[in-house]
Amino acid sequence: ARYSPYVYSIDDPINYYDTDGEIIRDKKGNIVFIPIEDGVMNHGADKEGAKGTFGFIYTNDGTAIMVFKNKSSKKGFDTDCHGQTFTKGKYWINNSEVRKILKGDGYKKIKKSEIKKGDIVIYTDGKDGVEDSRVVVVIDPTTGEIKVYGQGGLEEENYESGIDEAWESDGQEYYRKTQKDRVVDDQSIAAMKKKIQKMVDDEKKKAASEKKKEQEKKKAEEKKKDEEKKKTNSLNT
């Protein structure tokens, strides 16, 4: 990835107080989103993808999480399973970001027998790979049946289903959030955005400089080849 979340993480979200919810928010309860650049999100069979903006949201410990904000008319790209689980459908979050959210927002791994309403189910490949996520919404007091809520892939609507029917996978993990979320003030958000924008601008300048050097190197190599070719031709005549 051109913009590594590890590079754009913040050591300290500065001023904050606690509230309920997910991910760092402003005083109005909105998730703090710092846009990086416009681009296209592709998924599955949809080769054309959707136009929107890539950017970062932040966990309690300041870890940057890459997300996508859809600007197209393709509603299937408004959010995905993880976007629904961790941002209530505000953004699209790729599988690769989930472990960082679980760690950065203080989620505790629990046993299936300990599950309560509001806990998170992570569907895995049986190893460390994340495939899907849902939120526990119902536990039948009589049968113990667990139902989860969310969506998958490019689905446009959330729905409730049994924990094992929601997503076919080789493994399931269960998590409970143990921390309340940090809320940063307007001054801190402005400082965060300014800091990140400078880093992005520096990264773009660096990339442009490297591209220019590569072009100049290629041009010099082509010139050298032309000169050697001319020299060879002159010797043969």
Q: Which two tokens stand for residue 122?
A: 């992570």
Q: Which two tokens stand for residue 24?
A: 């760092």
Residue 183, classed as helix, strand or coil, is strand
Residue 182 has pLDDT above 80, yes or no: no
**15 vs 208, residue with greater confidence:** 208
Specify whether the CB–CB gap between 38 and 51 falls below 8 A.
yes
Contact between residue 63 and residue 103 where contact means Cβ atoms under 8 Å apart: yes
Which residue did the predictor score with more confidence, 197 or 118? 118
* Rounded Cα distance, 148 and 131, in Å: 15
The CB density around residue 161, as the number of other CB atoms within 10 Å, is 14
pLDDT score of 2 more than 90:
no
Domain residue spans of the chain: 16-184
When pLDDT is averaged across residues 144-165 and rounded to a whole number, the result is 95
Mean pLDDT of 143-159: 94
The token pair that represents 221 in the structure block? 């190599």
At 165 the pLDDT is: 96
Q: What is the pLDDT of residue 18?
A: 37
What pLDDT shows up at residue 5?
55
Q: In which band, very low, low, confident or very high, does the pLDDT at 4 lie, cut at 50, 70 and 90?
A: low
Residue 88 has pLDDT above 50, yes or no: yes
**CA atoms within 13 Å, Cβ hemisphere of 17:** 5
Q: Is the pLDDT of residue 20 over 60?
A: no
**Tokens coding 199:** 């880093």
DSSP code for 25:
B
pLDDT at residue 177, rounded to an integer: 92
Confidence of residue 84 (pLDDT cuts 50, 70, 90): very high
At residue 222, φ and ψ (nearest 5 deg) are -65, -40
Strand, coil or helix: 128: coil
The position carrying tokens 């959010």 is 79
Instruction: Give the number of C-alpha atoms closer than 13 A to the C-alpha of residue 109, restricted to the C-beta side.
Output: 5
pLDDT value, residue 77: 95
* H/E run at residue 59: none
Question: Mean pLDDT in the chain?
Answer: 87
User: Does residue 179 register a pLDDT over 60?
Assistant: yes
102-111: average pLDDT? 95
Backbone angles phi and psi of 134, in degrees to 5: -145, 165
Percent of the chain at pLDDT exceeding 90: 57
Q: Are 26 and 186 in contact (CB under 8 A)?
A: yes
Q: Are 82 and 67 in contact (CB under 8 A)?
A: no
As a whole number, mean pLDDT of residues 187-206 equals 84
- In the predicted model, is pLDDT for residue 153 greater than 90? no
